[in-house]
């Protein structure tokens, strides 16, 4: 019980630290931002709110100003089951990418951030 309380407390500290030190959003003109938003409709991030790797990934999304749908795989059984069935395991963060009718599941925060940087940094 003490370990769980510590884990929850540390998770909330991480979330708070993210909130107070969040990077500035990338600025784009309205047309470019609309194009990014359109492309981001095919992305969804399966995450736990206080997971440090999920926070790291959300910070990158915020920095790039990419509005990816967030799916709570910890408290929402529908999203948890979709992650298990689609990705094959309950591990977060996981980015669901739908392109040309194909669905791909990408795990590992560094891989997700590299993908987002490659796809949206110059958009």
This prediction has a pTM of 0.88
Under the banding of pLDDT at 50, 70 and 90, the label for residue 19 is confident
Mean pLDDT of 7-19: 80
Res 70: pLDDT: 98
What does the pLDDT read at residue 96? 98
Q: What is the pLDDT of residues 30-88, one digit of tens each?
A: 999 999 999 999 999 999 999 999 999 999 999 999 999 999 999 999 999 999 999 99
Count of Cβ atoms closer than 10 Å to residue 96 Cβ: 20
Question: 85 or 19: whose pLDDT is higher?
Answer: 85
Q: What one-character-per-residue DSSP string does the chain give?
A: -HHHHHHHHHHHHHHHHHHHTPPPPPP--HHHHHHHHHHHTTEEEEE-TT-HHHHHHHHHHHHHT--PEEEETTT-HHHHHHHHHHHSS--SSEEEEEETTEEEEEESHHHHHHHHHHHHTT-
- Local confidence band at 118 (pLDDT 50, 70, 90 cut-offs): very high
More confidently predicted of 32 and 13: 32
Mean pLDDT, residues 7-24 taken together: 82
CATH code for residues 2-120: 3.40.30.10
């Amino acid at each position: 019980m003490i370990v769980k309380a510590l884990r929850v407390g540390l998770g909330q500290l991480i979330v708070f630290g993210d909130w107070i030190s969040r990077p500035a959003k990338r600025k784009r003109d309205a047309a470019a931002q609309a194009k990014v938003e359109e492309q981001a409709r095919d992305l969804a991030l399966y995450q736990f709110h206080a997971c440090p790797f999920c926070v790291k990934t959300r910070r990158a999304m915020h920095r790039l100003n990419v509005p990816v749908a967030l799916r709570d795989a910890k408290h929402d059984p529908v999203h948890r089951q979709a992650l298990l069935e689609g990705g094959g395991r309950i591990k977060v963060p996981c980015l669901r990418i739908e392109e040309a009718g194909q669905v791909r599941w990408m795990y590992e925060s560094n891989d997700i951030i590299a993908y987002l940087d490659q796809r949206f940094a110059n958009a």
